Structure 1
Amino acid sequence: MLSRVNHKNFVNLIGYCEEDEPFNRMMIFEYAPNGTLFKQLHVKETEHLNWSARIRIIMGIAYSLQDMHHHLNPLVAHSNLNSHNIFLVDDYAAKITEISFLPQDSSKLKSSGDNESVHSTLPPLADVETNVYCFGILLLEIISGKLQYSEEQGSLEKLAAEYLNDKCSITYLIDPILKSFKKNELDLICKIIQECIQPDSRQRSTMKDITSKLREVIAISPDQATPRLSPLWWAELEILSVEIIEISFLPQDSSKSKSSSDNDISYLIDPTLKSFKNNELDLICEIIQECIQPDPRQRPTMKDITSKLREVIAISLDQATPRLSPLWWAELEILFVEAT
């Protein structure tokens, strides 16, 4: 699924690790400094989301789901859409993530969260109708700031049912920390929630219809809902551009290459570097070739790579670790507070 969805409100997979000895599986996603939507809504210590930020998050999620349901062939349904799987980047734009590897089996799919998985009334299968239902529940969670389930209130959808049909009391659903909200946007969202959580899946709206209705009242375009340029864009670009650099290291026909001279590798060096060590460059190029072998069984382990690097590069483990930060006392105080 990750390889098929290409939307600016869907998280980017930067890379992965698949080692057998020792067994290790790792996926590397783009950095989302503001954590999950769940954290921003329910953890008191985090910065509170105002109404405008919440509306922008809603639109980002809607645009991404519309793309998954209507622009991909075959369509893609999210297997577990909830606030734990919505990440927020530095400007609080929404990024949907999908990291579930569970079989698409109704007996095995569960909602995330301890209490939520036990008490959830969400339909079990991952399909577009279920995604619409989950989107409705997400809207409830976003505007109310309430958990999908708690022992005190029960399930959020049951609590909301008491208010959704009574426009006079609808404001009681609003998160009390919100200083203001737009009544016309709230009315529209409540109407869409009712359409999304219909017990009969055939009566639920499609994400295309939902997005269209949202656009009639909420003036946030797809471009405005997507993340602005990240301060770390240069790092992400450098990581993604490795694919381009790899081509330079692939075996070439001697008749097509610029030169058979070993010194030609220097043309890859960053021109802003005033100097470099040839022996270290030669080693790094050799390691790059070993790392990007098409057959993963021929690639060295990180243990072997580190050993080779140490043979030429005189930087010990202690020398590579960060020196004591000028803010070490503040970090220590934070850790102390957590411990107490």
Structure 2
Amino acid sequence: MITKPIFIFSLLFFLSFILNQNIICYAQEPPSITGYTCNPEQFNPCQTYVLYRARAPEFLDLASIGDLFSVSRLMIANPSNISNPNTTLVNDQPLFIPITCSCNNINTTFGSISYAGFNYSFKSGDTMYGVSTSKFQNLTTYQSVEAVNPTVVPENIDIGQAIKFPIFCKCPNTTSSQNQPRLLITYVFQPNDNISSIASRFRVTPQSITQINGNNTKILDTLFIPLSNLPNLTQPTSSNTPPPPPTPSAPVNQEKDRKGTVIGLAIGLGVCGVLLILVLGLFYKEKTGKKEGYGDVERQKSLYLGSKKGSFVDKDVEVNLLADVSECLDKYKMYKMEQIWEATDGFDEGCLIQGSVYKGTIDGEVFAIKKMKWNAREELKILQKVNHGNLVKLEGFCIDPKEANCFLVYEYVENGSLHSWIHGEKPEKLSWKTRLRIATDVANGLLYIHEHTRPRVVHKDIKTSNILLDSNMRAKVANFGLAKSGCNAITMHIVGTQGYIAPEYLTDGIVSTKMDVFSFGVVLLELVSGKEAIDDEGKVLWANIGDFSEGSEERKVRKLQEWMDGSLLREELIMESVVNVMSVAISCLNKDPSKRPGMIEIVYALSKSIDLFTDVSEEGLSPRQVTAR
């Protein structure tokens, strides 16, 4: 019989061994915290960060981690001191992930807690506990996930079902003294951590950490690190090193790694087999195709495309690029480089529409072909989940491994951009009824991406040159090159077009659907005034819109008529309709994003303006003529 002291000693030895191997079974004693309480009336939302670690096998690249947190690769690379966002990460490499922290009411039991919510679509084998501890690395707890999703039965979650995961965070108290930290970084206490080592790592004092978190920190507890500025993370000199092999003293990890290796090899061989079949098929088709050239165009084509045999470098690039967009292969048509070349007459300037977009004909059908360096993954990822009549449709794409280019093949929209109709030299001017229809079409397109996609999509570059008009003069939103899936985030990489950029995005990098609302307000001003969003002197169109809200109704109308597009004044229209649209534009351009309307309200308001036209022509474009007041 084993005596009690020997049993206790054996148990302590076993626990010590497990802790030294860093494979403690946390499921036996899960964290009991359910979040950090807050008062919504005294809480100011803030942009902050969590410290996350790259982990094999699923999260060793910024793209997969960005998908998990609904941010772009650059939004992680910049604060994490990573120069190349496409690099392969090292196992346990530290990263700063930007999040927006806010106070959210849960229920009467838990009250309000502060967190940043991220939707996660369940895969086969996922559980609330597993996703919380593994994928989100204990930045939340399964108790909080259950509290935030009260109608979800944890044992009955369907594959593909989206569940919100609350990532714990805190914001500094702005009413405190001047010594209050600017940031509170979310950090999970690791088995080999102590307060002194964490303080040294972040260059703060241990007292500043314990003052906020207390003295009873345990393994996997959430710590909030007070910082004045985000520190530079020390990153490996080469981020292409594979994760370290398991130690011989960890048989459990070895067994898991062996299983992972077998599964990985099986998947890799399967993918290689499919790619081999594709390559052999293309090779056979090329061998059995035309063998004789035809003049200078064919010689230029040969020079551009290179040898039909290609090189090992080109093939490696092609395999990598195909892997990058593997999730899109079954949704879109994959065009060959030869088809793109012939469709655009070798990228002849006569086929150029604008920028790097060419008009091309493939199999008798006209398309708009957008040429870009290889950064199309984000755009493809967003476009594959949107389908709306007021959004330009993506038909397919093509990869050019020789130049590492990608070509996106869109539907061709016949009447060009709204910018060319308002500000170009078009002989025909748009009627007010047509402008109203265009505004409503754009609003409906934005309503779809803001409210009917999960996570929500922010376009980030709404402007008249990205609004295209079809043969019926109906509008379609184009160019999702800057779009972001997921909102309420922060970025230090400001992109967009001057005159349309929302103030909060320009100054603080805040990304939300309300920045699209602001840009849409500028488009409305252009439709009413016929003026550019920014003039030759660099003055933005929306700078003096407050003038239209002052004085009597008669003064407002008179001021508006002086400012309106002259072509509108020459037609007879209902002035009340123009006043309504101007009111919508002014509300969209509020400097406080929380006071801007949502797209649902905007669509409703614009529909009311259209309803003022009670007599519509057969073409649906000419209003009943009423003298402007």
> Which residue does the alignment assign to 1:203?
595
1:62 match: secondary structure: helix
The yes-or-no answer on 1:36 pairing with 2:426 is no
> Which residue does the alignment assign to 1:134?
519
Which of structure 1's runs of 4+ aligned residues deviate more than 6 A? 102-105
Separation in 1 of the partners of 2:523 and 2:391?
Answer: 16
Q: Name the one with the larger strand percent.
A: 2
The yes-or-no answer on 1:48 pairing with 2:429 is yes
TM-fit CA distance, 1:95: 0.5
Separation in 2 of the partners of 1:123 and 1:84?
Answer: 23
> Which residue does the alignment assign to 2:558?
168
TM-fit CA distance, 1:29: 0.9
> Retained in 2: the 8 A contact 1:144–1:174?
yes
TM-fit CA distance, 1:153: 7.7
TM-fit CA distance, 1:156: 0.3
> Which residue does the alignment assign to 1:95?
476
- 1:97-246 alignment to 2 at 5 Å? 97-101=478-482, 106-112=491-497, 116=498, 122-124=503-505, 125-152=510-537, 154-165=539-550, 166-178=556-568, 179-180=570-571, 181-219=573-611
The C-alpha deviation readout for 1:183-230, integer Å capped at 9, x for no partner, is 12111111111211111111111111111222233239xxx9xxx9xx
> Retained in 2: the 8 A contact 1:163–1:173?
no
TM-fit CA distance, 1:22: 4.0
The yes-or-no answer on 1:72 pairing with 2:464 is no
Amino acid at match of 1:3: Q
> Retained in 2: the 8 A contact 1:87–1:94?
yes
Which stretch has the larger CA shift, 67-76 or 99-108?
Answer: 99-108
The C-alpha deviation readout for 1:142-167, integer Å capped at 9, x for no partner, is 11110011135821001433334334
Identity %: 25
Classify 1:29/1:21 alpha carbon distance in 2 versus 1 (closer, same or farther; 3 Å).
same
Which ranges in structure 1 are unaligned for 5 or more consecutive residues?
229-340
Separation in 2 of the partners of 1:122 and 1:39?
Answer: 26
TM-fit CA distance, 1:21: 1.9
Classify 1:99/1:70 alpha carbon distance in 2 versus 1 (closer, same or farther; 3 Å).
closer
2:397 match: secondary structure: strand
TM-score by length of 1: 0.58
Separation in 2 of the partners of 1:58 and 1:138?
Answer: 8
Amino acid at match of 1:98: N
Amino acid at match of 1:156: L
> Which residue does the alignment assign to 1:19?
400
Separation in 1 of the partners of 2:398 and 2:504?
Answer: 33
In our comparison, the structure showing a higher alpha carbon Rg is 2
1:72 match: secondary structure: coil
TM-score by length of 2: 0.33
The C-alpha deviation readout for 1:290-309, integer Å capped at 9, x for no partner, is xxxxxxxxxxxxxxxxxxxx
The C-alpha deviation readout for 1:96-143, integer Å capped at 9, x for no partner, is 01331588864333333xxx36x9664424421111111111100111
> Retained in 2: the 8 A contact 1:2–1:98?
no
The C-alpha deviation readout for 1:272-314, integer Å capped at 9, x for no partner, is xxxxxxxxxxxxxxxxxxxxxxxxxxxxxxxxxxxxxxxxxxx
Separation in 1 of the partners of 2:456 and 2:411?
Answer: 24
> Retained in 1: the 8 A contact 2:423–2:530?
yes
> Which residue does the alignment assign to 2:300?
none
Classify 1:195/1:54 alpha carbon distance in 2 versus 1 (closer, same or farther; 3 Å).
same
Separation in 2 of the partners of 1:196 and 1:122?
Answer: 12
> Which residue does the alignment assign to 1:326?
none
Amino acid at match of 2:525: L
Cα RMSD after superposing both structures: 2.7
> Which residue does the alignment assign to 1:85?
466
TM-fit CA distance, 1:72: 2.1
Classify 1:34/1:46 alpha carbon distance in 2 versus 1 (closer, same or farther; 3 Å).
farther
Separation in 1 of the partners of 2:427 and 2:496?
Answer: 24
> Which residue does the alignment assign to 1:273?
none
Classify 1:48/1:122 alpha carbon distance in 2 versus 1 (closer, same or farther; 3 Å).
farther
1:149 match: secondary structure: coil
The C-alpha deviation readout for 1:19-73, integer Å capped at 9, x for no partner, is 2024331111111121111111111245321111111100101111111112222
Separation in 2 of the partners of 1:141 and 1:122?
Answer: 19
> Of 376, 380, 383, which aligns to 1:2?
383
Amino acid at match of 1:108: H
1:214 match: secondary structure: helix
> Between Structure 1 and Structure 2, how many residues are aligned?
219
2:456 match: secondary structure: coil
> Retained in 1: the 8 A contact 2:390–2:475?
yes
Classify 1:140/1:201 alpha carbon distance in 2 versus 1 (closer, same or farther; 3 Å).
same
